Amino acid sequence: MITAIMAIVTVYFLIRLYVSVMQVGYINRAKRMPAVLMGTAEFLKAGNYAVAKEKLQMAGMFIEYIMFVVWLDGGIQWLDRITLNVEEPLKTIAMVLGFLFVNYLVNLPLTLYEKFVLDEKFGFNRSSVMLFVKDTLITMALVGVFGSLVIWGVSEIIASTKLWWLWTFLFLFIVVVALNMLFPTIRALFFDKLTPLEDADLNEKIEKLMRRTGFVSSGVFVSDASKRDARLNAYFGGLGKTKRVVLFDTLLDKLTPQELLAVLGHELGHYAHGDIYKNIGIVGGLLFVMLAIFGNLPSSMFLSLGITETPAVDIIMFLLFMPVVSFFIMPFMGMISRHNEYEADKTGKELGGGFYLANALRKLVTENRTFPLSHPLYIFFYYTHPPVIERLKALGYDEENSQESRAMQETCEADTLEHEHEEAGSRA
């Protein structure tokens, strides 16, 4: 049994390592070719950043593999021993939180290197050490409080029924939905400062855009994300009445109003197509499959590992194997996600104009140092969004054909004027 487990984990590790090696080699060759979507200097810098990030990921893979062996070869038993005199359910909570904390500490050097060395070198990091420590302590406190409640709930379910995996699925699915609803509030309370968008004209245009798709939000807000990172982003957070539009201040600084509206049109496309609920459903399906597997593991497996099957061990084994199972399911989820992105781009083109959306995508690639080319295997396993070049082609944008680009712009401007006249007529 142990041999079979380690064989599966080793295959998982080797596939990931092979894909990363192929990606690094591909980018190293591609960055010496003529630049695509950005200037030569930016193209080379983006390629160097992508290679450095991937090498860091490879280091993380080795650590993950080593920790996997450590946990199965005595690590779980060690957690059990140091919590021997702790009564349930505190014992289960202590063991699971201990497992998470040890993994965090082991990976902390890589996290610090990525943020304060790699991201600093390439101009992304704007966070101070004190802000990082503050964010870390807040995150740990939130995990400690809410994580303890979730662990306690799961442990009670495991202890009370043989079909614990099914009831645990229902419980965790409710938690996932609740987190989606509470995420904007939690982020605003503890991390980013959100302020209402002050640009009245832009706010009105965003409201008009939302009305066209029936999207009702609690407001449009600006996040002070630039105090931590220079990357551009925006998101629609929450479900139901908690929905809100959040724009990173970095995004407002770099995109024109028309480009910003096109990006929001893309996000509204996700809403119009029900992608948020589809994604929750997909996550639910993944959760169901994983719990069905781990809820029916043979007792001989635990015996062969020298551990007693308890609620804490069940939860730790689930967390330990979750990356392995999800890795082989992710390509399927990625294909669905990439299809949804193309469809959202179509809506973004209709609402904000293909020319402006294409320009915004190009700016996002340049500002976020996103290397526009990737190995097909890497795309297959990891990409949730289509390669930006393919998205631009689908939008009808060709950077080598300026006449076509101008035609796109003229069409966009004509569509915008036509819609404004229609709205003026309806108001009249």
Which positions are catalytic? 267
What are the helix (H) ranges across 161-256? 164-190, 200-213, 249-254
Ramachandran area for residue 306 (φ above 0: left; ψ -120 to 50: alpha; else beta): left
**Contacts of residue 18, Cβ cutoff 8 Å, sequence gap at least 6:** none
Give the phi and the psi of residue 360 in degrees, each rounded to 5.
-65, -40
Q: What gap in Å lies between CA 367 and CA 354, rounded to an integer?
A: 20
Query: Which of these, 116, 383, 96, lies nearest to 229 by C-alpha position?
Result: 116
Alpha helices per DSSP H over 83-163: 90-113, 119-121, 129-142, 148-160
Query: Which tokens go with 208?
Result: 């008009």
Strands 244-248 and 220-223: parallel
**What values do phi and psi take at 234, rounded to 5?**
-160, 155
Q: Which of 312, 328, 180 is nearest to 243 (CA)?
A: 180
248 vs 312: CA distance, rounded Å: 40
Would you put residue 211 in left (φ > 0), alpha (ψ -120 to 50) or beta?
A: alpha
Q: What is the DSSP letter of 218?
A: S
| DSSP single-letter state for residue 35 | P
